[in-house]
Amino acid sequence: MNKTLTNKILITLAFLFAYRILAYVPVPGVNVDVIKEFFNSNNSNALGLFNMFSGKAAERLSIISLGIMPYITSSIIMELLAATFPNLGKMKKERDGMQKYMQIIRYATIVITLIQSIGVSIGLQSITGRSGEQAIMIDMNVFIAISAVSMLTGTMLLMWIGEQITQRGIGNGISLIIFAGIVSGIPNAIGGTVNLINTSEMNFLVAIGIFIIILVTIGIIIFVEMGERRIPISYSRKVVMQNQNKRIMNYIPIKVNLSGVIPPIFASAILMFPSTILQASTNKYAQAINDFLNPQGYMFNFLTFLFVIFFAFFYASIVFNTKDISENLKRQGGFIPGVRPGENTASYLNDVAGRLTLSGAIYLGLISTLPWVLVKTMGVPFYFGGTSVLIVVSVALDTMRRIEAQIYMNKYQTLSAVGL
């Protein structure tokens, strides 16, 4: 393995290790045992889902207990605004403008983190342990200020770690942070399932059924994520002769799932945002909203399905801009056989991408909700839901592709340096 690739992998692992260390640093002034007891009793609702995405940092009220979700939420808002306002969308495409665009996302992340941290801090004052001990051990006003600063610092550190992994390591930093948080809970999930079997609270055949569901889900995800439609491209003889010593791509690859793992992450971020603010509140309306957004309920999964489909189309339209592709193709002297260059090419690509995105969106929606439906009928808890499996497998596949690409790039660089 090339030294450069080895260094990138080690850098990625080092930053992920730092992320896991931060998950064990609690906010000053809290009784961690009371917080953990509270999350254990709310493992099957939105708090349990939020705790899973944070890598169990929420049950320790770590400084990174809000996770990377505030950053994702601000990214969603900016993507929607960029699609609505042309000037903002133009800023995103320019090199200097992209820096300003990312700066706005960071400022929005600060605002969202402060709102969520203050909401969590206020909600914690009503939590008590079994023996009557309070969750907060210091003055309430002081605690709100400390927790807001601590959680803001933790979220900013996570955002910085994600950017460093993307720039200096292997893979997408934000996705790998979510990946690491979910994977860190697998040993506890396996241990919990074994304990349920040993205490006869779960039938062994039911556990086998859950295991088979996970394997089938993983197989479907790998099959679909690797699938793509290749649109053939032809070039004029002049272009071919001018580039006879270079490889010209003779097809446009369009993935079945153009939007990747982003739609389930966006959907989870939106649905968990109200629960994050309203958690531990004693207000009856806040409790009604939390019950309404229970991950084990029908409405939560129905909304998840709808949000996933919406964000699949929305994000696919961003990452696969048919107008830009047709203009670049025309500029390079390429064309799709039987289709006129320009608007006709854009329209053709848009139709193909639309059909594939529809299939990909339904696939994402089913993967996100079908395991819950199957396990709901079996009457047992499901620790590793469809969204979690989708994120873990998709991020793993993407990271493997990036490692392979780096290996091939190193081989080409070696050949160009020493010759054949």
Higher pLDDT, 347 or 239: 347
The confidence band for 120, taking pLDDT boundaries of 50, 70 and 90, is: confident
pLDDT greater than 80 at residue 28: yes
* Structure confidence at residue 420 (pLDDT): 46
60, two tokens: 């320790």
pLDDT greater than 80 at residue 213: no
Dihedral of alpha carbons 399, 370, 47, 265, sign: positive
Convert the pLDDT of each residue in 74-87 to its tens digit.
887 887 788 778 78
DSSP code per residue over 258-323: TTTTHHHHHHHHHHHHHHHHHTT---HHHHHHHHHT-TTSHHHHHHHHHHHHHHHHHHHHHH--HH
Range with the poorest average pLDDT among 228-242, 309-323, 358-372: 228-242
CA 228 distance to own-chain centroid: 21
User: What's the whole-number average pLDDT of the chain?
Assistant: 79
* Structure confidence at residue 161 (pLDDT): 92
Alpha-carbon distance 178 to 204, whole Å?
30
The confidence band for 43, taking pLDDT boundaries of 50, 70 and 90, is: low
283, two tokens: 């207000």
Dihedral of alpha carbons 406, 407, 410, 415, sign: negative
- CA-CA-CA-CA torsion for 379, 385, 387, 389, nearest 10 degrees? -140
349, two tokens: 């690509």
Task: Say what the pTM is.
Answer: 0.75
Range with the poorest average pLDDT among 85-99, 137-151, 274-288: 274-288
Residue 214: helix, strand or coil by DSSP? helix
pLDDT greater than 70 at residue 283: no
Cα 357–Cα 347–Cα 333 angle in degrees, nearest 5: 115
pLDDT greater than 70 at residue 223: yes
CATH fold of 1-182 reads Preprotein translocase SecY subunit (1.10.3370)
* Structure confidence at residue 35 (pLDDT): 82
Instruction: Select, from the ranges 97-101, 103-107, 237-241, 262-266, the one with the highest average predicted confidence (pLDDT).
Output: 103-107
Instruction: Name which CATH class applies to 203-419.
Output: mainly alpha
One-letter identity of residue 72: I
Higher pLDDT, 205 or 13: 13
> Among candidates 369, 341, 325, 383, which has minimal Cα distance to 52?
383
Range with the poorest average pLDDT among 4-13, 205-214, 370-379, 390-399: 370-379
CA distances to 67, 92, 260, 314, 387 from 364, rounded to whole Å, are 23, 27, 9, 14, 9
Distance separating the N- and C-terminal Cα atoms of the chain: 20
The residue with tokens 């930093």 is: 173
221, two tokens: 């995800």
Domain ranges for the chain: 1-182, 203-419
* Structure confidence at residue 14 (pLDDT): 92
* Structure confidence at residue 419 (pLDDT): 47
Convert the pLDDT of each residue in 257-271 to its tens digit.
888 878 887 787 777
Instruction: Select, from the ranges 159-173, 287-301, 377-391, the one with the highest average predicted confidence (pLDDT).
Output: 159-173
Convert the pLDDT of each residue in 330-384 to its tens digit.
887 788 888 888 888 888 888 988 888 898 899 888 888 876 676 666 655 544 5
Q: Could you check whether 1-182 and 203-419 share the same CATH topology?
A: yes
